[in-house]
Structure 1
């Protein structure tokens, strides 16, 4: 499953005011009943008072997966890759949540449960000023 996520996200950069790659993670040290911001904060070592925003997966990728008439062929290929990535996430991870931590330099974690109840997903950074 980790290799599938790596392949699906390979070469993709999440666009904001900066472009960052996706990193795949698997937290196999404990099984979780619920995916909470507090759980993710603890896993990644951020302070518990870090600003958090939870967004829907489709909302997070809304711009990246929308094909536009004005896209050139390279951009259309990138859109297809993002559409495939979202399909892979939905196929292999359950209870998916996208959590954005911070304000300007935002750490993003796309977290879901594997079939054996471990937490896995993708992380990236977003810059919004």
Structure 2
């Protein structure tokens, strides 16, 4: 992975927390894996049980609530929405085949990943709690 992609992802996600029943930070991830990323391959790379449930959603679906500005948002919330919009933009500009893999059911590990120009897999991970 080029350092610029890692740097851009780190800068774009710095200080952002993904909101669910717990607010979790993002971590930049990179695997030099080649070939198509499938749910079983993702489970192997992330050391999850091979029978863990995996839901695949689009980046737009995953970030939908975080990137929508609402009338009732205050200045800080509007700024956060802009930062999430920028983060989605950075992901889309730098990674192809971008998908979000949600692993687990109540405590969910989310991997927002795509393929780099060099053929590796890169993106962000975060945790969600949904009861």
Confirm or deny a common fold (TM above 0.5): yes
Counterpart pick for 1:15 among 7, 12, 19: 19
Deviations 1:44-102 (A, max 9, x none): 10011001111111000000000001000000000000000000000000000100000
Over 6 Å off, 4+ runs? none
Tell me the matched-pair count.
127
Deviations 1:94-126 (A, max 9, x none): 000100000100000011000011000000000
Distance in structure 1 (CA, Å) of the matches to 2:111 and 2:29: 9
Counterpart pick for 1:95 among 94, 97, 101: 97
1:31 paired with 2:25, answer no
Distance in structure 2 (CA, Å) of the matches to 1:87 and 1:35: 21
Distance in structure 2 (CA, Å) of the matches to 1:110 and 1:40: 11
Distance in structure 1 (CA, Å) of the matches to 2:126 and 2:82: 19
Distance in structure 2 (CA, Å) of the matches to 1:31 and 1:8: 26
Distance in structure 2 (CA, Å) of the matches to 1:31 and 1:98: 18
RMSD: 0.6
Q: What residue ranges of structure 2 are gaps of 5+ in the alignment?
A: none
> Could you tell me the TM-score, scaled by structure 2's length?
0.95
SS at 2:66's partner residue?
coil
How far residue 35 of structure 1 moved from its aligned partner, in angstroms, is 1.7
Q: What residue ranges of structure 1 are gaps of 5+ in the alignment?
A: none
